[in-house]
Structure 1
Amino acid sequence: MNTKIDALNWKILRLLQDNARVSFATIGREVGLTAPAVAERVKKMEDSGVIMGYKALVSHAVTGHQLKAIIALRAFMGKLKPFLALVGTFDEVVNCYRITGNENIVMEVVIKDQFHLERFIDKLIQYGETRTHIVLSHVINNAPIHGAPN
């Protein structure tokens, strides 16, 4: 479904991306609408699938997961489907993408330390060859909304 989004809805979406718990009254003040009008627009965007859900952002460092890594996997013949069925059960994986190119999978993982990383890679190598990159810092905090006017 391709839902047309007007400029006010783009502003509402940006505010919700910054803070999904912001009140409709606060959004209304920012975009020049009443709280009920904002609520109606948000409900329509939820119903149409534009807004897919809300989530809590977790500080992995505070939970004891000091390292973040990007791991690419090039699956062995016949191992991609079993891996895809299993990857959702790994607590370490916060994002996983099936990609084109030399590798089949790219995962963003959070781990406690290098020993935890080693054990996690040991789980992965039965499914394919891995390439691991340790994340040093987070450069961009929010991804842009695709299709949003500038």
Structure 2
Amino acid sequence: MKLDVLNSKILKCLQENARLSNAEIGRRVGISSPAVSERIKKMEDLGIIEGYKAIVSPYEIGYQLKAIITLRAFMGKLKPFLEKVKTYDEVINCYRITGDENIVMEVVLKNNKHLESFIDQLITYGESKTQIVLSRVIKQKEVAPLK
């Protein structure tokens, strides 16, 4: 599906605030609420809109650290790790990548002791490198439709 101007505007509204009513989105983009609903449903059905969720601040619920951890998996350990990583509550994002490392993870942790314990779990799968996140420069930007 090629996105038209209206669908692009609807996506922008939803990415800024997914709790906007269809009526409000309609006012912003210049179409009726039922038309917005129909377009959103079609984009959901096509997989353009993957879902909706609340974005929670890890710091406000008790996590003191956020880190980026890369992993270079040992021979034969990548596939087992790809299954195991799904069970780690600490991992909030995980990517399989090209280059020297195989995996990049974004993790949230209670404190330094929790970080140490988590790294100890990774040792059986490969060599890890950890960078502590000091601050976020860009907060989950909207994905702009291709032109």
Deviation, 1:146, is 4.7
Q: Is 2:64 aligned against 1:61?
A: no
Question: Counterpart of 1:28?
Answer: 26
* Letter paired with 1:61: Y
The partner residue of 2:125 within 127, 130, 143 is 127
- Paired AA for residue 126 in structure 1: T
Structure 2 unaligned residues grouped into runs of 5+: none
- Taking only the aligned residue pairs, the percentage that are identical comes to 65
**Mapped partners of 2:10, 2:70: distance in 1:** 35
Q: State how far apart, in whole Å, the 2-side matches of 1:140 and 1:5 are.
A: 25
Structure 1 residue runs of 4 or more that deviate by more than 2 Å after TM superposition: 146-149
Instruction: Give ranges in structure 1 of 5+ residues lacking alignment.
Output: none
The two structures, once aligned, show a CA RMSD in angstroms of: 1.1
Supply the distance in 2 between the matched residues of 1:138 and 1:148 (Cα, whole angstroms).
26
Equivalenced residues, count: 147
Do structure 1's residue 82 and structure 2's residue 80 form an aligned pair?
yes
Alignment of 1:1-150 (within 5 A): 3-149=1-147
Q: 1:62 aligns to what SS in structure 2?
A: helix
Q: Distance in 1 between matches of 2:146 and 2:10?
A: 11
Q: Partner letter of residue 64 of structure 1?
A: G
Cα deviations across residues 8-43 of structure 1 (Å, max 9, x unaligned)?
111111111111111001111110111111111001
Task: Map Cα deviations across residues 71-126 of structure 1 (whole Å, 9 max, x no partner).
Answer: 00000011101100110000000000000000000000001111110100000011
Q: What is the distance in 2 between the residues matched to 1:70 and 1:53?
A: 25
Three-state SS of the structure 1 residue aligned to 2:138 is: coil
Is the contact made by 1:10 and 1:148 (CA closer than 8 Å) also made in structure 2? no
Cα displacement (A) at 1:7: 1.1
What amino acid is aligned across from residue 132 of structure 1 in structure 2?
Answer: T
